[in-house]
Amino acid sequence: MGHWGVILTKQLAHQHIYWWEMDAEIAGMVASCPSCQQQQAVKLRRLVAWPDALSPRSWLHLDFVGPFLGFSWLILVVAGSRFPYVMTSTTSAQTIQALSCIFAIEGLPETLVTDNGPQFTSAKFKAFCTTLGIRLINTAPFHAAFNRLAEWFVRTFCFG
C-alpha cells in the first residue's frame, strides 16, 4: 500500500467501505505511520511582522509593478509613506539611477527589502547597496508575504 496521507486514504476508503469511527481510525493509522509522517508536507511557518521603524528610513520595501498605464513602476514603501516612481526600464542600472535620485532627496535607508527580481539580485545592485552601507534583504523566492508591505501597495496602486 502506498502512503497517501490522511485525506486521500479517507477518500479511497469511503469509495469501498464504511464503518463507525472509520475517519478517526484512519487518522490514527496515518498519524502512527513513520513513512506517512516523513512524506507529510512541511508546515508553514508563522509570519512575524517587521519590527517597527526606529527612524523614517529604517526599512525601505521595494517592488516593481507593470506595465501599468503604459509604464513600469518602482513601488517604495517607507515607514508609513508609500509612493510610486515611474520607470522606463526595470534594469539594474535604471533602478540604481532612480534610487540614487530618491536617496539624494530623501536620504539613505538603513535596509532595503526586495523580492528576488533580477534587478535586485544582480552583482551591480548588491555593489550599489554595499557602497552606500545599505543592508539588502532579498525575500525568500515564491513567498511574496515577506515583502507584504510593498505587495499590498502594489494591489492598492493597481486595483484601487
How far from 131 is each of 27, 57, 103, 128, CA to CA, in Å?
Answer: 56, 17, 13, 5
Least confident of 10-19, 97-106, 139-148: 139-148
Mind listing the pLDDT tens digit for each residue in 2-57? 566 777 788 888 888 888 888 899 888 888 887 776 666 555 555 555 555 566 66
Q: Which of 31-45, 53-67, 119-133 has the highest mean pLDDT?
A: 119-133
Quote helix, strand, coil % in the chain, to nearest 5: 45, 20, 35
| For the chain, percent of residues with pLDDT exceeding 90 | 13
Q: What are phi and psi of 62, to 5 degrees?
A: -125, 150
- Give the angle subtended at the CA of 157 by the CAs of 67 and 148, to the nearest 5°: 100
Cα gap 110→75, rounded to integer Å = 17
Residue 126 has pLDDT above 90, yes or no: yes
Cα gap 77→56, rounded to integer Å = 11
